[in-house]
A and B are shown apart, each in its own frame.
Chain A
Amino acid sequence: MDSVKMKTDWAIEARGLVKSFGSNRAVDGVDLKVRAGTIYGVLGPNGAGKTTTVRMLATLLRPDAGSARIFGYDVVKEAQIVRQLIGVTGQYASVDETLSATENLVIFSRLLGLGRAEARRKAAELLEEFGLTDAAKRPLKHFSGGMRRRLDLAASLIAQPPLIFLDEPTTGLDPRTRTHMWEVIRRLVKSGSTVLLTTQYLDEADQLADRVAVIDRGKVVAEGTVDELKTSVGTSSLHLRVHNPMDMEEARRIVNRVLGVQSVVSTVSGKITAPMMDADRVTDLLIRLREAGIKLAEMSVQKPTLDEVFLTITGHGVEDESQSDEELNKAEAMQR
């Protein structure tokens, strides 16, 4: 990696990247700077332009405007060099469905210039590493989503590239597999790689990324460390549901007084929502509610969701044609 380090400290430098599909500007002037040896998260909802950005950085798409350098090499003019420096793991596993795991890895290894025996050894090594040895000979048709992702990631690591793109590496995975993926990603960085990962989940960025760029409608709307981002979004919120709807008004008054905030009432779901600055005061609130004889049906605390991050940063919520707010909350509840 010495040859790489000599040239620049920046694994990625992108300036003003633009890509349009027809009249839709999928990426509209994205700037990114990623320091070598870090995990960088690109956070945004479906259709924000995350994948398109990654595809341009990974030489899979030619930018309409702007420029990007990977370790100092231009993604358009020096694409073939850039390809020697990167590994790409796509949102949809980029492996051959009809072939077995071993065959996939052997073919990719051979394409990367490894000899026949060397390719076999590398494939076996990576399968072992990713716990896929038992399934090595089976065609991928019978693989679970998690196994496919792992194989996909393994394929990206054959050449031990100094920069790895992970496009939504855990979307659709069960929590256990997700945690496993996170471990693998952390280990990659420990061994000196740089990782750029896209995600829809704030907590994934929280878990992994050193820095985060929030992207919306093809633009970077916020950039910084996860902590900076969270502070800018604000606090967790407290959700209360009272047993008797008649008590709603009274309960709300108590909440406002005890917590010293403005709460919001949703009559549809019969819920009171209030920002929770100081968790300690909740005890007082509960005691006060008991004294007033108000019975609670439900109580929960919610950390800032991506939806709230967006609301705060962009002034509009996550917009997704297919998902209503209800479904989005459900999806977020599931991944928690």
Chain B
Amino acid sequence: MSSIPMTSGIQRPLRNRTSFRQTLSQSFTMAYRGLLKIRRTPEQLFDVTFQPIVFTLMFTYIFGGAVSGNVHNYLPIIIPGILVQTVITTSIVTGVQLREDMDKGVFDRFKSLPIARIAPLAGALLADTVRYTIATVLTLVMGYIIGYRPGGGLLNTVIAGILVMACSWAVSWIFAFFGVIARTASSVQGISMLILFPLTFLSNALVPVNTMPHWLQWFVKINPLSHLITAVRDLANAGTVGSDLVISLVGAAVIVVIFAPLTVRAYMRRT
């Protein structure tokens, strides 16, 4: 308790802005923090581990016979559907955890440090890609165990998985925005579920669209998630690429272009 030299102070020149390289490295440090937190509290991975397993089993055996005659024929339809549903739903957590995090004392310290304002936000979003990876892998493995053999081959299935993760990351910006502007974590959860529930279920995820009434088909067809699901099916089952892939990627890009600046602006104002 005696001898730390505390006099050295600052030797670096003082600058009023953070360089791009510093911003990047600070974002990665914040992502590292996110990963450490996941490792310390593995229970927060509950949703990404159990939902893929439970949903895949449940929906496959409930709807399999009714929709496709038997479970085996249903797998190429349901597995891509469940994959998109599950991974996209995972992205809600980004907003909820961001809100919880911002309410904690440690955020005061981040704010008082001479770091890029965006770093804590970017770090959180980066760390969450781990969650998408877990959800994606588990869903596909579960599908494989109950007999799903994607016709497009392993490589195309992996590409499909990456596509889903990329789109989920894009969607997570929306929830990050709610996370920043909402007052409590539970309200973030509430709003987000309200939006995602119709989007994931009013889609072609579980059943063929032509079995639905016309007015519903109209919505299902413009639902961006339907396009993503179709793109995943094309890739995984047939190894083909169509307009649905383009629509999905453009949609994801549009979301990021709109919500990333919005989120950052709101976040800066809050902090």
Give the B-binding residues of A (Cβ under 8 A).
1, 3-4, 58-60, 73, 78-81, 83-88, 90, 92-99, 103, 107-108, 110-113, 125-126, 129-131, 139, 155, 157, 159-162, 183-184, 187-188, 191-193
Contact = CB atoms under 8 A, between A and B. Distances in A.
A63 B111 CA distance: 16
B10 interface: yes
27 contacts: A4-B10, A58-B112, A81-B15, A84-B12, A85-B10, A85-B14, A88-B108, A92-B105, A93-B105, A96-B33, A96-B37, A97-B104, A98-B37, A99-B36, A110-B25, A110-B29, A111-B113, A112-B114, A126-B4, A129-B4, A131-B1, A160-B9, A161-B9, A187-B6, A191-B7, A192-B6, A192-B9
Contact of A59 (B104, B106, B112): B112
B112 A88 contact: yes
B120 to A, nearest CB: 9
A103 B6 CA distance: 22
A98 B112 contact: no
Contacts of B108: 60, 88, 90, 94
A60, A86, A125, A139 interface centre (most CB from chain B within 10 Å): A60
Contacts, number: 119
A141 to B, nearest CB: 9
Contacts of B41: 98
Contacts of A107: 29, 32-33, 36
Interface in B107-143: 107-115, 119
A58 B110 CA distance: 12
Contacts of B16: 78-81
B5 A191 contact: yes
B262 to A, nearest CB: 20
B243 interface: no
B18 interface: yes
Given A112-B114, A159-B10, A95 B109 contact: yes
B9 A1 contact: yes
Interface in B55-112: 104-112
Contact of B6 (A73, A85, A96, A193): A193
B127 to A, nearest CB: 12
Contacts of B210: none
B211 interface: no
Contacts of A139: 40
A113 B24 CA distance: 12
B204 interface: no
Given A99-B33, A112-B114, A162 B10 contact: yes
Nearest to A159: B10
A84 B14 contact: yes
B214 interface: no
A94 B109 contact: yes
A285 to B, nearest CB: 46
A81 B109 CA distance: 16
B125 to A, nearest CB: 17
Contacts of A93: 105
Contacts of B26: 111
Contact of B40 (A87, A92, A98, A183): A98
A93 B109 CA distance: 9
Contacts of B119: 111
Given A84-B114, A85-B14, A98-B41, 20 more contacts: A4-B9, A59-B112, A79-B16, A80-B17, A84-B10, A86-B112, A90-B108, A90-B109, A95-B105, A95-B106, A97-B106, A98-B36, A98-B40, A108-B113, A111-B30, A113-B12, A126-B4, A139-B40, A161-B9, A192-B7
B79 to A, nearest CB: 34
A181 to B, nearest CB: 12
Given A81-B16, A99-B40, A94 B7 contact: no
Given A60-B108, A111-B119, A157 B6 contact: yes
B22 interface: yes
Nearest to B32: A107
B14 A81 contact: yes
A112 B108 CA distance: 15
Contacts of A97: 104, 106
B183 to A, nearest CB: 14
A157 B15 CA distance: 20
B113 A112 contact: yes
- The winner among B8, B9, B16, B33 for most chain A CB atoms within 10 A is B9
A108 B29 CA distance: 9
